Protein backbone atom coordinates (compact mmCIF):
# COMPACT_ATOMS: atom_id res chain seq x y z
CA UNK A 1 0.00 0.00 0.00
CA UNK A 2 2.83 2.43 0.80
CA UNK A 3 4.29 1.95 -2.68
CA UNK A 4 0.93 2.80 -4.26
CA UNK A 5 0.70 5.84 -2.01
CA UNK A 6 4.07 7.04 -3.33
CA UNK A 7 3.13 6.23 -6.94
CA UNK A 8 -0.05 8.30 -6.69
CA UNK A 9 1.71 11.30 -5.15
CA UNK A 10 4.44 11.20 -7.79
CA UNK A 11 2.00 10.69 -10.67
CA UNK A 12 -0.24 13.61 -9.72
CA UNK A 13 1.64 16.76 -8.68
CA UNK A 14 -1.76 18.50 -9.04
CA UNK A 15 -2.62 17.07 -5.62
CA UNK A 16 -0.75 20.08 -4.23
CA UNK A 17 -3.51 22.29 -5.68
CA UNK A 18 -6.05 20.87 -3.22
CA UNK A 19 -6.06 23.19 -0.22
CA UNK A 20 -7.81 20.75 2.12
CA UNK A 21 -5.27 18.27 3.44
CA UNK A 22 -8.09 15.90 4.37
CA UNK A 23 -9.53 15.93 0.83
CA UNK A 24 -6.05 15.51 -0.66
CA UNK A 25 -5.55 12.36 1.43
CA UNK A 26 -8.95 10.99 0.41
CA UNK A 27 -7.99 11.33 -3.27
CA UNK A 28 -4.75 9.43 -2.61
CA UNK A 29 -6.65 6.79 -0.63
CA UNK A 30 -9.17 6.23 -3.43
CA UNK A 31 -6.39 5.74 -5.99
CA UNK A 32 -4.49 3.45 -3.62
CA UNK A 33 -7.57 1.27 -3.11
CA UNK A 34 -8.25 1.16 -6.84
CA UNK A 35 -4.68 0.21 -7.70
CA UNK A 36 -4.55 -2.45 -5.00
CA UNK A 37 -7.88 -4.05 -5.93
CA UNK A 38 -7.11 -3.85 -9.63
CA UNK A 39 -3.77 -5.54 -8.95
CA UNK A 40 -1.70 -3.00 -10.90
CA UNK A 41 2.07 -3.05 -10.62
CA UNK A 42 2.39 0.60 -11.61
CA UNK A 43 -0.11 3.44 -11.91
CA UNK A 44 1.46 4.33 -15.26
CA UNK A 45 0.49 0.94 -16.72
CA UNK A 46 -3.20 1.86 -16.85
CA UNK A 47 -4.02 2.91 -20.42
CA UNK A 48 -6.12 5.90 -21.36
CA UNK A 49 -8.63 3.60 -23.07
CA UNK A 50 -9.17 -0.10 -23.48
CA UNK A 51 -7.80 0.18 -27.04
CA UNK A 52 -5.49 3.21 -26.74
CA UNK A 53 -2.33 2.24 -24.89
CA UNK A 54 -0.04 4.94 -26.31
CA UNK A 55 -1.37 7.41 -23.75
CA UNK A 56 -1.63 6.56 -20.06
CA UNK A 57 -4.59 7.19 -17.83
CA UNK A 58 -2.29 9.34 -15.68
CA UNK A 59 -1.57 11.63 -18.65
CA UNK A 60 -5.27 11.96 -19.38
CA UNK A 61 -6.24 12.60 -15.74
CA UNK A 62 -3.54 15.25 -15.44
CA UNK A 63 -4.74 16.84 -18.69
CA UNK A 64 -8.34 16.96 -17.47
CA UNK A 65 -7.23 18.47 -14.17
CA UNK A 66 -5.15 21.16 -15.88
CA UNK A 67 -7.91 22.04 -18.36
CA UNK A 68 -10.52 22.16 -15.57
CA UNK A 69 -8.36 24.41 -13.36
CA UNK A 70 -7.64 26.83 -16.20
CA UNK A 71 -11.31 26.96 -17.19
CA UNK A 72 -12.39 27.52 -13.58
CA UNK A 73 -9.91 30.38 -13.30
CA UNK A 74 -11.44 31.96 -16.41
CA UNK A 75 -14.95 31.44 -15.02
CA UNK A 76 -13.88 33.26 -11.88
CA UNK A 77 -11.91 36.07 -13.52
CA UNK A 78 -14.00 36.77 -16.61
CA UNK A 79 -17.53 35.88 -15.47
CA UNK A 80 -17.31 36.48 -11.71
CA UNK A 81 -18.38 32.89 -10.93
CA UNK A 82 -17.20 31.11 -7.81
CA UNK A 83 -16.31 27.51 -8.67
CA UNK A 84 -14.97 25.39 -5.80
CA UNK A 85 -11.38 24.69 -6.83
CA UNK A 86 -10.86 21.89 -4.30
CA UNK A 87 -13.91 20.09 -5.68
CA UNK A 88 -12.72 20.65 -9.26
CA UNK A 89 -9.19 19.38 -8.66
CA UNK A 90 -10.25 16.40 -6.50
CA UNK A 91 -13.03 15.29 -8.86
CA UNK A 92 -10.80 15.78 -11.91
CA UNK A 93 -8.12 13.61 -10.33
CA UNK A 94 -10.73 10.98 -9.46
CA UNK A 95 -12.88 11.05 -12.59
CA UNK A 96 -11.08 8.02 -14.10
CA UNK A 97 -9.89 6.18 -10.97
CA UNK A 98 -12.45 3.51 -11.86
CA UNK A 99 -10.25 2.46 -14.79
CA UNK A 100 -8.20 0.65 -12.13
CA UNK A 101 -11.05 -1.87 -12.12
CA UNK A 102 -12.39 -1.66 -15.68
CA UNK A 103 -9.20 -1.96 -17.73
CA UNK A 104 -7.65 -5.01 -16.07
CA UNK A 105 -8.92 -7.24 -18.90
CA UNK A 106 -7.31 -5.08 -21.58
CA UNK A 107 -3.61 -5.16 -20.61
CA UNK A 108 -0.86 -7.77 -20.65
CA UNK A 109 -0.80 -10.01 -17.59
CA UNK A 110 2.69 -8.89 -16.56
CA UNK A 111 1.32 -5.42 -15.74
CA UNK A 112 -0.83 -6.97 -13.01
CA UNK A 113 -0.18 -8.71 -9.71
CA UNK A 114 -3.44 -10.22 -8.42
CA UNK A 115 -6.60 -8.37 -9.41
CA UNK A 116 -9.42 -8.81 -6.91
CA UNK A 117 -12.26 -10.44 -8.90
CA UNK A 118 -14.84 -8.77 -6.64
CA UNK A 119 -13.84 -5.38 -8.05
CA UNK A 120 -11.73 -5.88 -11.20
CA UNK A 121 -14.23 -6.15 -14.02
CA UNK A 122 -15.23 -4.33 -17.17
CA UNK A 123 -18.92 -4.85 -16.33
CA UNK A 124 -19.22 -1.62 -14.32
CA UNK A 125 -18.36 1.62 -16.19
CA UNK A 126 -15.36 3.40 -14.69
CA UNK A 127 -17.29 6.58 -13.94
CA UNK A 128 -19.58 4.60 -11.64
CA UNK A 129 -16.86 2.57 -9.95
CA UNK A 130 -14.89 5.81 -9.54
CA UNK A 131 -17.91 7.38 -7.85
CA UNK A 132 -18.11 4.33 -5.56
CA UNK A 133 -14.43 4.63 -4.61
CA UNK A 134 -14.82 8.34 -3.82
CA UNK A 135 -17.88 7.54 -1.71
CA UNK A 136 -16.13 4.68 0.09
CA UNK A 137 -13.20 6.84 1.22
CA UNK A 138 -15.51 9.65 2.35
CA UNK A 139 -15.04 12.33 -0.29
CA UNK A 140 -17.61 15.13 0.02
CA UNK A 141 -20.82 14.73 -1.98
CA UNK A 142 -19.80 17.67 -4.20
CA UNK A 143 -16.75 15.66 -5.33
CA UNK A 144 -18.66 12.39 -5.69
CA UNK A 145 -21.38 13.87 -7.88
CA UNK A 146 -18.81 15.42 -10.25
CA UNK A 147 -17.16 12.06 -11.06
CA UNK A 148 -19.82 10.35 -13.23
CA UNK A 149 -19.19 12.01 -16.58
CA UNK A 150 -19.74 9.81 -19.60
CA UNK A 151 -23.44 9.04 -19.76
CA UNK A 152 -24.70 11.80 -17.49
CA UNK A 153 -25.56 9.42 -14.66
CA UNK A 154 -26.19 12.25 -12.17
CA UNK A 155 -29.41 14.15 -12.96
CA UNK A 156 -28.67 17.39 -11.08
CA UNK A 157 -25.36 18.67 -12.49
CA UNK A 158 -23.35 21.25 -10.58
CA UNK A 159 -21.16 23.85 -12.26
CA UNK A 160 -18.10 21.86 -11.12
CA UNK A 161 -19.51 18.61 -12.55
CA UNK A 162 -20.23 20.23 -15.90
CA UNK A 163 -16.76 21.76 -15.98
CA UNK A 164 -15.11 18.37 -15.38
CA UNK A 165 -17.29 16.73 -18.01
CA UNK A 166 -16.21 19.43 -20.51
CA UNK A 167 -12.53 19.15 -19.53
CA UNK A 168 -12.73 15.38 -19.95
CA UNK A 169 -14.15 15.79 -23.46
CA UNK A 170 -11.48 18.36 -24.35
CA UNK A 171 -8.65 16.08 -23.21
CA UNK A 172 -10.21 13.00 -24.80
CA UNK A 173 -10.71 14.76 -28.13
CA UNK A 174 -7.07 15.83 -28.09
CA UNK A 175 -5.94 12.27 -27.37
CA UNK A 176 -8.09 10.52 -29.98
CA UNK A 177 -7.14 13.14 -32.59
CA UNK A 178 -3.41 12.92 -31.88
CA UNK A 179 -3.28 9.12 -31.59
CA UNK A 180 -5.92 8.01 -34.12
CA UNK A 181 -6.75 11.09 -36.18
CA UNK A 182 -10.44 11.01 -35.16
CA UNK A 183 -12.68 12.90 -32.75
CA UNK A 184 -13.93 11.43 -29.49
CA UNK A 185 -17.41 11.15 -30.99
CA UNK A 186 -16.02 9.18 -33.94
CA UNK A 187 -14.05 6.96 -31.53
CA UNK A 188 -17.19 6.24 -29.49
CA UNK A 189 -19.23 5.50 -32.63
CA UNK A 190 -16.53 3.23 -34.04
CA UNK A 191 -15.59 1.29 -30.92
CA UNK A 192 -18.55 1.32 -28.52
CA UNK A 193 -19.97 -1.84 -30.10
CA UNK A 194 -16.55 -3.53 -30.23
CA UNK A 195 -16.12 -3.64 -26.47
CA UNK A 196 -19.59 -5.07 -25.74
CA angle 27, 33, 38 (to 5 degrees): 125
Burial class (CB in 10 A: 0-12, 13-18, 19+), 13: exposed
pLDDT of residue 2: 65
CA dihedral angle for residue 93, residue 66, residue 57, residue 42, rounded to 10 degrees:
-70
pLDDT of residue 188: 87
Tens digit of each residue's pLDDT (9 = 90 or more) over 90-136: 999 999 999 999 999 999 999 999 999 999 999 988 989 999 999 99
The 8-class DSSP code of residue 40 comes to B
pLDDT of residue 144: 94
Q: Is the pLDDT confidence value at 83 over 90? A: yes
User: Which pLDDT band, with edges at 50, 70 and 90, does 196 fall under?
Assistant: very low
Domain count along the chain = 1
pLDDT of residue 43: 98
**Which one is predicted more confidently, 45 or 193?**
45
Residues 6+ apart with CB under 8 A from 104: 38, 39, 112, 115, 120, 121, 122
Tens digit of each residue's pLDDT (9 = 90 or more) over 25-58: 999 999 999 999 999 999 999 999 999 999 999 9
3-state DSSP call for residue 56?
Answer: strand
Separation of alpha carbons 80 and 49, rounded Å: 36
Strands (DSSP E) found in 47-170: 47-49, 52-56
- CATH number, domain containing residue 132: 1.10.3210
Q: Is the pLDDT confidence value at 15 over 90? A: yes
Instruction: Tally Cβ neighbours within 10 Å of residue 25.
Output: 15
- pTM for the model: 0.94
Tens digit of each residue's pLDDT (9 = 90 or more) over 145-169: 899 866 555 556 789 999 999 999 9
| Range(s) of the domain holding residue 140 | 2-195
Amino acid sequence: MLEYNTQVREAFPELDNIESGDLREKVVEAWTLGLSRGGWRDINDIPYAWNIHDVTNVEHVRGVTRIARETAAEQREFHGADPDMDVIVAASLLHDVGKCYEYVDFVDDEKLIEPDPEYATAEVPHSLSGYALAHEVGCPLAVQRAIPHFIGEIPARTMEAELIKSANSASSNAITQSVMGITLKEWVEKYSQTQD
